[in-house]
Amino acid sequence: MARGYFVLVSRIPGLDKSEDLKRIRNMFIQSRIDGGIFIGFPNECAFIEDIVSLGFAVGVFDQRLPRKEANRVVVRMDYSGFAVMVKQAADMGRREFMFMGSDMKARCGVDIYRILRRAAEKNRVSISGECLLKADEMSAASAAETMAGFLEKKIPFPPCVLCANDVMAFGVIETLRKYGYRVPEDVSVAGSDDVLVGRYYNPPLTTIRCGFDDMLDALAAGVIEFVEHPFSKQHVATYPGKLVVRDSLRPAGRAGGETAHLPVVQKFRVAAEKT
């Protein structure tokens, strides 16, 4: 509204809902909307590629695509924070960890796994294949179900679980507790996104703080700019984050006390990506 536009929000339960996608496509064709912002879609999404090919202003969040259409505005997260998190865990004496992730079709899934592997090798810590868990969705319920399935196998696992986002971390923590594990006394858990509830969770959640407000503002501004003054070169912005260490990630071999409380905010920077 600040720039004279109304915002219409639509949730698409699944990309197989052809009627929903047809309805949104018709809104573009009929000029009922000026541009669209798509969040949570995988790379190479046929629906988004169709809208882009028609020349409409499209903003995509956290995708990596080889094409450079000017009407596709891209805002991404930089997942190097997971390398910083692995180093932090290693510095705290954690020599092994497991990871709870999700969709390998999305950019975040591919990048996070790649970064974790490299960081583990660099810091001489290990992560076995059976400890790379992939939930069906990046949700608390899906992470809880996946973690429960793993625990039912009674496979020994390292007492440090890194999660693709905070809500998955909440699901992991609740499942661990149901199976008799204490967090963080028995198992450390960390997430990403720094959702507000994580600061007040029990225990407060170690996470990667991302500037979602700034990212979404930039995405909206880029789409509006193209609508009003079409530009000839694709706009891409990549945002780093900050590792925030709270009580859910504790040094190995320590069960509480002041030494386990680490109010550390570690910044990391990544060079701007050229397009």
Confidence check: pLDDT of 269 > 60: no
**Mean pLDDT across the chain:** 84
Same fold for the pair 18-77+211-239 and 81-209+242-267: yes
**Edge-to-edge, what's the strand order for the sheet holding 72-77?**
35-38, 57-61, 72-77, 236-239
**Chain position carrying tokens 């594990």:** 181
pTM: 0.79
**Span 222-232, average pLDDT:** 92
CATH of range 81-209+242-267; options 3.30.70.100, 3.40.190.10, 3.40.50.2300, 3.30.10.20 = 3.40.50.2300
Task: Report how many helices (DSSP H) and strands (DSSP E) the chain contains, helices first.
Answer: 8, 11
User: What are the structure tokens assigned to 115, written together?
Assistant: 């970064």
Least confident of 85-94, 101-110, 122-131, 194-203: 101-110
Span 164-175, pLDDT tens digits: 999 999 999 999
Whole-number Å distance between alpha carbons of 76 and 58: 14
Least confident of 8-12, 59-63, 68-72, 164-168: 8-12
CATH code linked to domain 18-77+211-239: 3.40.50.2300
For the chain, what percent of residues have pLDDT higher than 90?
A: 53
Looking at residue 261, its pLDDT comes to 28
| H or E, element range at 160 | strand 160-163
Q: pLDDT tier at 255 (50, 70, 90 boundaries)?
A: very low
Span 114-138, pLDDT tens digits: 888 899 999 999 987 788 899 988 8
Q: Which residues of 114-141 are buried (b: 16+ CB within 10 A; e: fewer)?
A: ebbeebbeebebebeeebebebeebbbe
Looking at residue 273, its pLDDT comes to 31
User: What are the structure tokens assigned to 252, written together?
Assistant: 């190995």
Whole-number Å distance between alpha carbons of 65 and 53: 14
What residues pair up with 73 in beta bridges, in sequence order?
Answer: 59
Whether 102 contacts 168, CB under 8 Å: yes
**Span 13-42, average pLDDT:** 82
